[in-house]
Amino acid sequence: MTLSAERPHEVEKESFVPPASNAVSRRRGGGWLSQHVGTAIVAGFLGYLLGHWLGNYISSGYPVVTNTGQNSIADLMALIFMVVGWLAGIGALNYPLAKLVGREAKDDVELTGWSKYFRFNLDHKVVGLQYVLGVLLFLFTGGLLAMAIRTELLNPTTHVFSADTYIKIVSEHGTIMMMMASSVVIGPLGNYFVPLMIGARRMAFPRIEAFSLWVFLAGYMVIFSALPFGGFPTGWTGYAPLQTQAGPGMVSYLFGFFVIGLGMMAAGFNLAATIINYRAPGMTWSRVPVFVWSILATAALLTLATPVLVAGGLFGLLDKTVQTAFYVTEHGGSSYLWQNLFWFFGHPEVYIMALPGFGIVGEIIPVFCRKPLFAYRIAAAGMIGVALLSFFVWQHHLFQSGIDPDMRPLFMLTTELISIPTGFIFLVGMGTLYRAKIRFEVPMLFCMAVYFNFLIGGVSGVFLSDVPVNVTVHGGFFVLSHFHYTIMGGLIFAFMAGLYFWLPKMTGRVMNKRLGLWHFWTMFVFFNLTFFPMFIIGLLGQPRRVFTYAKNLQTLNDFSSISAFLLGASFLIFFANLMWSQFINPKKSPANPWESLGLEWQTATPIPPHNFDRIPVIMTDPYHYSEAGAPALADFGDDDFVHTSSGSTTSGDGSA
């Protein structure tokens, strides 16, 4: 970081341009005959057919296939070829193949208009918006399945679904939502805003970033394919031996996690490399925005924890296809092995979901409190602490199953320990709110809701970490309520806060405030009315994943179900707001509608293709709200651009 704080002299461009003769022809910008999502769908479909045929050709004579009537090899090969076809169809494989002959890709034709959102695009801002659509697709699919679950639970004796169908709906809902939640912030907001927040013009590895998106979407198709395959009956955790006994839908589950895992690793890898290397001059670690800290901690978890899920999924697929016995106790394997591998990933996964939410809230509340972020360094340290400790707690998921009872106190202790850095992060928020003159705009309301919800989710988590309580309420609605409070109450509310806060920057259009308020209040009220009764339902003994229950719990269940329907309706308000504000009746947003000091707001809207005309030189952190004499945020190489301590932007002569 030796770029001087004094602006360098302009010189004539000496850009490096690879010779066109050696460049790869990507056939980009050639209209609808070039590679885009349509060709990806066609290639994916053809790949599916080819893979299925090949799988049947190879293995239809195997005894295990003829005896069971199930050909998991054909099912898996169909899915593998579908994903490869999808990636080839979108153009993700062009560059890796060209590298085999030493070629570098030539410059893409810069696409304008809508078509760029349906292609393999290397602009992190386009990828971020593509991710928004992707995660909303996951969210709404999972949400519809949740409505089906609550419909079934309206009555303990009159059933809409069979027990078998019900558990498959629950499993699909849980898996889709977990996959969505692992990318819901890091995909859309992380990819879009990290380079802007650190003063970078690009990602470190834009192709890997785009690859992560298209693999993520492939993962959606794979996991959704479980339904036509007959679903899977294991819940989102996929426990063996049920996993081993399940039908072909289980292949979709295992391969779906495998594929999503690849995307998660790619996303984490790229973001970590970007944050480490592409911070603008002057952006020392003590000036990095707290949202970027959260993404860095998350990226580390994605990079290191997800390979364990990928390996676990691979072993499960080998069990289903070539008849290994990793998870088959009767043949020298162990069903507990899956639990260990799954939760070694699965508990860091909880923080993969939670940390970006904390980051968003930490980034937003100083803007609406007009106060510096309280104890910034503690917030950053808390995030790193949570990330490190999250690798040492996974065994608390096995308190009731495959753990030596003598080991329980150790993992109870580590689990309780992790509440300390989590508490730091929470207290940083409280310290910032303390005696602040809060502006209750829609993003801020969502942030306040995160603190309210996460307090309930977090405190119930501390209870659950204690062995006696854990043993008592294990497998019941109490646990279900706890993790919905942390993940939906924490992460999804934070995601909504982030969307309302940053959409004006992303699209240049402001969201309708009235509809936003309706969305917030309905979502907040009905979220709590849906999930808080589940603590009571759980304490009264209702188990998860069972489609019937004791008659005396019907009133509470009905209350919860009706609230859930209204909670679902609140998302329709959000959807209506999105359509209305962005497409039907768009209103241009002011350049910096919240008067934020964040670096991402200091560049033009719409954001130029390369983010900053000049690489900014960072002077301080972006949280000096209401501080008299606070230093300017950054030197943008434009002499008359100065940032005042109040957060407003004035020209150099002092005029507003």
> By CB under 8 A, what part of segment 270-289 binds another protein?
272-274, 276-278, 281
Q: Which of 54, 163, 337, 410 binds another protein (CB under 8 A)?
A: 337
Closest CB 608 distance from another protein, rounded Å: 10
DSSP code at position 491:
I
Site membership for another protein, residue 329 (CB under 8 A): yes
Report if residue 439 touches another protein, rule: CB under 8 A: no
What is the four-CA torsion angle of 601, 605, 610, 612, rounded to 10 degrees?
A: -50
Of 206-245, binders to another protein (CB under 8 A) are 206-207
Q: Which is nearer to another protein, 99 or 439 (CB)?
A: 99
Contact string (CB under 8 A) for another protein, positions 583-612, x = contact: ---------------------------x--
d(CA 555, CA 561): 10
Instruction: Name which of 65 and 491 has its Cβ closer to another protein.
Output: 65
Range in contact with another protein (rule: CB under 8 A) among 311-319, 456-464, 468-476, 592-600: 311-319
- Within residues 119-148, the interface with another protein by CB under 8 A covers 122
- Tell me if 352 contacts another protein by CB under 8 A: no
Q: Distance between CA 641 and CA 612 in Å, rounded?
A: 14
Among 202, 370, 509, 545, binds another protein (CB under 8 A): 202
550 is an interface residue for another protein by CB under 8 A: no
Pick from 298, 296, 259: nearest CA to 491: 298
Task: Please say which residue, 147 or 314, places its beta carbon nearer to another protein.
Answer: 314
631: which residues sit within 8 A by CB, 6+ positions away?
619, 620, 624
What is the smallest separation between the CB atom of 26 and another protein, expressed in angstroms? 12
From the CB of 575, what's the least distance to another protein, in Å?
35
The strand pairing partners of 642, in sequence order, are 650
Residue linked to tokens 């039907």: 584
- Write the DSSP symbol of residue 324: -
The helix (run of H) or strand (run of E) holding residue 634 is strand 634-635
Among 126, 259, 267, 308, contact with another protein (rule: CB under 8 A) = 308
| Secondary structure in 3-state letters for 178-223 | HHHHHHCCHHHHHHHHHHHHCCCCCCCCHHHHHHHHHHHHHHHHHH
Q: How far is the CB of 301 from another protein (least distance, A)?
A: 11
What Cα–Cα distance (Å) separates residue 116 from each residue in 2, 120, 456, 533, 603?
36, 8, 42, 45, 22
* Strand-strand pairing, 23-24 and 104-105: parallel
Minimum CB separation of residue 319 from another protein in Å reads 8
Handedness of CA 371, 375, 381, 383 (dihedral sign): negative
CB 32 within 8 A of CB 111: no
Tell me phi and psi for residue 643, to 5 degrees.
Answer: -110, 125
State in angstroms the smallest separation of the CB of 277 from another protein: 4
Contact criterion met (CB below 8 Å) for 523 and 570: yes
Which residues, 82 to 121, sit near another protein by CB under 8 A?
96, 99-105, 107
The site map against another protein for 161-200 (x = CB under 8 A) is: ---------------------------------------x
Instruction: Using the rule CB under 8 A, give the single segment among 227-235, 321-329, 558-566, 590-598 that binds another protein.
Output: 321-329
CB 294 within 8 A of CB 359: yes
Among 87, 88, 136, 265, binds another protein (CB under 8 A): 265
User: Is position 348 an interface residue for another protein (rule: CB under 8 A)?
Assistant: no
Between 323 and 649, name the residue whose CB sits nearer to another protein. Answer: 323
Q: Is the Cβ–Cβ distance between 289 and 620 less than 8 Å?
A: no
Cα dihedral sign, 613-617-622-626? negative
Applying CB under 8 A, among 211, 216, 326, 343 the residue interacting with another protein is: 326
Helix, strand, or coil (residue 618): strand
11 or 628: whose CB is closer to another protein?
11
Count of residues in contact with another protein, rule CB under 8 A: 75
For 114, other C-beta atoms within 10 Å of its C-beta total 7
Whole-number Å distance between alpha carbons of 224 and 315: 21
Q: Which of 68, 133, 331, 588 binds another protein (CB under 8 A)?
A: 331
Considering the rule CB under 8 A, would residue 615 count as an interface residue with another protein? yes
List residues bridging with 476 in a β-sheet. Answer: 543
Residues 16-75 that bind another protein (CB under 8 A): 16-19, 22
Among the listed residues 39, 191, 294, 340, the single contact to another protein using CB under 8 A: 340
* Among the residue ranges 219-227, 249-257, 340-348, 442-450, the one whose residues contact another protein (CB under 8 A): 340-348
Which amino acid would we find at residue 255?
Answer: F
Nearer to another protein, 613 or 627 (CB): 613
Q: Which stretch binds another protein (CB under 8 A): 204-212, 419-427, 527-535, 568-576?
A: 204-212
Residue 76, burial from CB neighbour count under 10 angstroms (0-12, 13-18, 19+): buried
